[in-house]
Structure 1
Amino acid sequence: MESKSYLPKDHVDILPCMAAFAVVVETGSFVEASVRIGVTASAVSKQITKLENILSLRLIERTTRSLKVNAEGEQIYEYCKLVLESSANIFRVKDKLVDNPQGLVRMGVPKSLYATCSKLIPGFLSAYRDVNVQLVCGERFDFVTDSIDVGIIVTEKPPEGMVARRLFDVDFVLCSSASYISKVGLIAHPSELAAHSCIPFVGDLDKQYWKFRSSHENCDVPIPGRYLSDCPEAALTATISGVGVSCLPVCLAIDALRSNQLIKILPDWIYKGALQGTAWMVYQPGHHVSKRIKVLVQYVMADLSRLSTTWKLM
């Protein structure tokens, strides 16, 4: 942080002395001031002396039995008491922030879970009216450079040095519409996909190849994509419309599968893609994580935990 010309080191160093002087004036006693501050009376006296020396002003007339603030001291006290008032205001703000979370939270979410998470945010905003949310879509985040407060990442190994809370496994399903299959016929083996209209989304790092595994075989298939989008929701819409075959996150396709808008293809094969894995809620560690981050993490984790139990394919 750039040093301000009106706050040189000497000005900062006398802040404790200013606070001590204000307490002395208000209590009228070094002893009572020392009890309130929590140091010895001798330490309070030294702070007052230091303030007088820095200012080259005598502020208090002392005797063995009493002290009296002089005219110069009265003027200096008007500014010193602002230090105490500022301290009190900071604690008032702290209490407000702790009791009533507020401010902006930037949340990073991968493409495969963006639609699901975006449906949760309106309910959160309704529950916490003083918190604002920016939902950022992407597969990889630099939490510092990108100013991400909390993120969901899909990985088998969450980053070291971060708080990582496990959410669920992110699975994909190969599917198409019944109308598409009725035109082209059933698909019996992944290798046949090379001759089909396939709909990868750009977020799929393996979009040129789809990788499958069965109980007895692995199969990597080159995919001739007719329609590409960086949005999995666009791939879902195109698949329902009969454009071709897609490999979609189960959480995105589950409703269309249950309503028979989509049918599962190659049920005996498991798709293995770069975007699969375990989803984690990740944020910076620390004893004093902002309350607005805490409540968002708790809210989203609770809802995702509930929803993930419904993402089961028969």
Structure 2
Amino acid sequence: MFLWEGVTEFVAVAEAESFTAAAKQLGISTAQVSRQISALENRLNTKLFYRTTRKVAVTEEGGIYYRHCRQIMDSLAEAERAISDRRGTPQGSLKLTAPVMYGEQYVMPLINDFMLQYPELDVTMDLTNQTVDLVEGGFDLAIRLGRLTNSTMMAKKLTTRMQYVCAAPGYLEKYGVPHSLSELRHHNCLVGNFDHWRFQEAGRERSVRVSGSLRCSSGHALRDAALKGIGVVQLPDYYVSDDLESGALISILEHMQEPEEGIWALYPHNRHLSPKVRLLVDFLADNLQHKPR
């Protein structure tokens, strides 16, 4: 047991490159992490980290020690997973994050169904439209929409979404139907978090800057404004599919519509996917594929 002291804290700091982030991930104080690292360095009689006010990085000796410790911890995790797999009942805690609207409407009902199947699980869900740091926040899994940019994360596609540019029939009767991207500048475009809309023209991606009388971070609010004839909107299918089917909104510029985007489950690259997370990812993938468009 003495030889193991400080190892968990050391690996956490090495991977997070921060004493504070490691402490948050482990659920202990930064001071406790610092004490354990100092004791470990004294026991090994070597310096494991370079410390500055901005960054923490492993020394050459620290890198060697980290690789051995990581192998040991991975082996321990494999042993625990083997027991868990034999037991066949996911249990313990899961910390997740997802975008607010998509999380409320689609993800959380499935999470609740999953918890009914596995009542020994405790779930913490952070619904936010901010891109949180999974490692620093101690998250097991994140649901992300659209294009992925962070190559340090592992990703599994759960389902897809399609972006639609649409407007109410009354708006189009009054202001006309745009047939080219250049015509969008003459229309009142309802803007969300980004003032560029993406299209595909002649097989090439096009990004068009749009503007209008309403800017809002809520897709529901933008949909409502479009339904009331205030302007043109670009929204994913899960906001407008029912309106397009009923005719309350009309899809336009379909010949320049961008291909489907992925909806993803992300987890840290340096964290093996535990059986309970793997089960949840498979459960979400199976059920989100069958959500109505």
Shorter chain as denominator, the TM-score bin is 0.5 to 0.7
**Is this contact kept in 2: 1:111–1:232, CA < 8 A?**
no
Q: Which residue of 2 aligns with 1:213?
A: 200
Q: Is 1:183 aligned with 2:174?
A: yes
Match of 2:131 among 123, 135, 140: 140
Gaps of 5+ in 2: 1-8, 10-31, 41-79
1:296 paired to 2:283: no
Q: Which position in structure 2 is the counterpart of 1:261?
A: 248
- For 2:127, what is the secondary structure of its paired residue? strand
Assess if the C-alpha contact under 8 Å between 1:158 and 1:280 holds in 2.
no
Q: How far apart, CA to CA, are the structure 2 residues paired with 1:128 and 1:220?
A: 45
1:120 maps to 110
* 1:227 and 2:214 matched: yes
CA distance in 1, matches of 2:211, 2:135: 38
Question: Relative to 1, partners in 2 of residues 1:143 and 1:219: Cα closer, same or farther, differing over 3 Å?
Answer: closer
CA shift for structure 1 position 291: 4.3
Classify 1:189/1:294 alpha carbon distance in 2 versus 1 (closer, same or farther; 3 Å). Answer: same
TM-superposition CA deviations, 1:85-105 (whole Å, max 9, x none): xxxxxx9xx769954433442
Question: What amino acid does structure 2 have at the position aligned with 1:159?
Answer: S
Q: What is the CA-CA distance between 1:236 and the residue it aligns to?
A: 2.0
RMSD across aligned positions (CA): 3.7
Distance change in 2, residues 1:217/1:303 (3 Å): closer
Query: 1:280 and 1:145, CA in 2 relative to 1: closer, same or farther beyond 3 A?
Result: same
Q: Name which of 146, 150, 155 aligns with 2:147.
A: 155
Pairs within 5 Å for 1:50-89: none
CA positional deviation for 1:262: 1.4
Deviation at 1:244, TM superposition (A): 1.2
- Structure 1 pair 226/163, CA: closer, same or farther in 2 (3 Å)? same
The answer for the alignment partner of 1:164 in structure 2 is 155
Equivalents in 1 of 2:88, 2:206: separation in Å?
Answer: 55
1:76-132 deviations in Å (ceiling 9; x for gaps) = xxxxxxxxxxxxxxx9xx769954433442223346844432443333333333432
Given that residues 166 and 281 in structure 1 are in contact (C-alpha distance below 8 angstroms), is that contact kept between their aligned partners in structure 2? Answer: yes
- Relative distance call for 1:101 and 1:172 in structure 2 (3 A) is same
Choose the corresponding residue for 1:102, options 78, 87, 91: 91
- The structure whose Rg is larger is 1
Q: 1:282 — aligned with what?
A: 266
Between the aligned partners of 1:144 and 1:217, the Cα distance in structure 2 is: 36
Deviations 1:113-166 (A, max 9, x none): 444324433333333334324143336332111222111233367634x44222
Report if the CA contact (8 A) 1:156-1:277 is conserved: no
TM-score under structure 1 length normalisation: 0.56
Aligned CA distance change for structure 1 residues 220 and 299 (closer, same or farther; 3 Å): closer
Cα distance change on mapping 1:287 and 1:119 into 2, 3 Å: closer
Aligned-pair distance for 1:174? 0.4
Matched residue, 1:250:
237
How far apart, in 2, do the equivalents of 1:95 and 1:298 lie? 17
Flag the 1:259–1:129 CA change in 2: closer, same or farther, 3 A: farther
Alignment partners' CA distance in 1, 2:211 and 2:133: 33
Structure 2 CA distance, aligned partners of 1:251 and 1:118? Answer: 15
Shift of 1:257: 1.2
Structure 1 residues 165 and 212: CA distance shift in structure 2, 3 A: closer
SS in structure 1 of the partner of residue 243 of structure 2: helix
Q: Is the 8 A contact 1:108 1:148 kept in 2?
A: yes
Percent identical: 23
Amino acid at match of 2:257: I
Q: Note the C-alpha offset of 1:177.
A: 1.5
SS at match of 1:145: helix
Of the structure 1 ranges 132-141 and 280-289, higher mean CA displacement relative to structure 2 is found in 280-289
The 8 Å contact of residues 170 and 229 in structure 2, kept in 1 or not, is answered as yes
